């Protein structure tokens, strides 16, 4: 099974921020990307504020927050973020054309073993994966709740990819469901 060490998150919206934080707390190096510099600055500020709030509420020790924050890097291009990633989570708005464009680009720039995930609640992951040469390494992800992630296989997702993603998701949250 491929070991996931670095996760790239494409898109610094609400879901991207949540996934970045969860992945960093799960022990992963995380590279958060957004093409808008203002969005990246806002994301960094919000992530810090979120960790500070968890520490203040007693849900997280300061040392754990500091370690998690140190695992997060920021990138202003998809290429910069995804080049070193073992797992890329695309987290842009649920518009098929945008997701297809990003997956086409990711397929070209990522290493052959890199797993590609799309956060989608309404689109078919098999349709998104069809623009790649690695559909066996593609799946969908969505939040079932703040503490639950739902993974969706596409028709070609192989068992090794699914196992690696299940392990990563379980390091991020307690409850993981495969749909």
The parent domain of residue 84 ranges over 6-178
In a domain, 20, yes or no: yes
In a domain, 174, yes or no: yes
In a domain, 68, yes or no: yes
In a domain, 1, yes or no: no
Q: Are 125 and 146 in contact (CB under 8 A)?
A: no
Which segments of the chain does DSSP mark as H helices, in order? Answer: 14-25, 37-56, 62-70, 78-82, 96-109, 125-129, 159-172
| pTM more than 0.85 | yes
What DSSP state is assigned to residue 94? Answer: S
Number of domains in the chain: 1
In a domain, 55, yes or no: yes
Kindly report, residue by residue over 101-159, the tens digit of the pLDDT.
999 999 999 999 999 999 998 999 999 999 999 999 999 999 887 789 999 999 999 99
Q: Are 5 and 24 in contact (CB under 8 A)?
A: no
Phi and psi at 103, nearest 5°, equal -65, -35
């Amino acid at each position: 099974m491929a070991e996931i060490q670095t996760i790239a998150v494409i898109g610094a919206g609400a879901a991207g921020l949540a996934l970045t934080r969860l992945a960093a707390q799960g022990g992963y190096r995380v590279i958060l990307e957004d093409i808008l510099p203002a969005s990246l600055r806002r994301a960094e500020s919000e992530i810090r504020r979120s960790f500070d709030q968890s520490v203040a509420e007693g849900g997280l020790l300061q040392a754990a927050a500091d370690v998690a924050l140190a695992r997060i890097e920021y990138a202003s291009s998809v290429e910069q973020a995804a080049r070193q990633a073992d797992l890329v989570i695309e987290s842009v708005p649920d518009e098929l054309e945008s997701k297809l464009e990003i997956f086409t680009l990711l397929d070209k720039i990522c290493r052959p073993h890199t797993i590609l995930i799309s956060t989608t609640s309404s689109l078919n992951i098999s349709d998104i994966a069809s623009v790649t040469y690695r559909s066996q390494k593609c799946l969908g992800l969505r939040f079932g709740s703040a503490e639950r992630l739902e993974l969706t296989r596409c028709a070609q997702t192989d068992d090794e990819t699914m196992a690696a993603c299940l392990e990563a998701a379980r390091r991020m949250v307690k409850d993981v469901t495969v749909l």
